[in-house]
Amino acid sequence: MKNRITIGISSIVLIFMILCLAVFSLLSLSDAKSALTFAQKRAETVQIFYEADIEAQKFIRDYRALDAEQKQPEAAVVYELPMRSGQTLHLELSSDGSDILSYYVYNNTDYVIDSDLPVWGGN
């Protein structure tokens, strides 16, 4: 009876390999899902920015098309377009509309850090 075939170790190795492959496939699926969610949010953010950019360019075009007597020559023109997520597109033109003085996106809401968690201070 010394010639009997033992398959115990090979079965354990096979089961371990199958479990490892299953875990890695679930981790890959989770990573792909989070990457898709991030890409969709990024695409939405970019689309919102470019929609606001189009509106700002239309404003610049319309302002430059005004007659000279309708323009206010002593002050710069500020135009702000609210976007989602607490952001605003800021546009500032010279009084005659020939120069763009500033053009940027800024956060119009304050970022408040939640400090209610009791964290050990080291004392």
pLDDT at residue 68 in the model: 61
Asked if residues 115 and 106 have their Cβ atoms less than 8 Å apart, the reply is no
Q: Are strands 100-107 and 77-82 parallel, antiparallel or unpaired?
A: unpaired
Confidence of residue 47 (pLDDT cuts 50, 70, 90): very high
- H-type helices in 1-123, by residue range? 8-65
Q: Which two tokens stand for residue 92?
A: 């500032």
Residue type, 65: A
Give the whole-number percent of the chain exceeding pLDDT 70. Answer: 90
Asked if residues 63 and 96 have their Cβ atoms less than 8 Å apart, the reply is no
pLDDT at residue 27 in the model: 97
- In angstroms, the CA 65 to CA 57 distance is 12
What are the boundaries of each domain within the chain?
A: 8-107
- Give per-residue pLDDT as tens, 48-95: 999 999 999 999 998 888 866 676 667 888 999 999 888 999 999 988
Q: Which two tokens stand for residue 114?
A: 């939640």
pLDDT at residue 114 in the model: 75
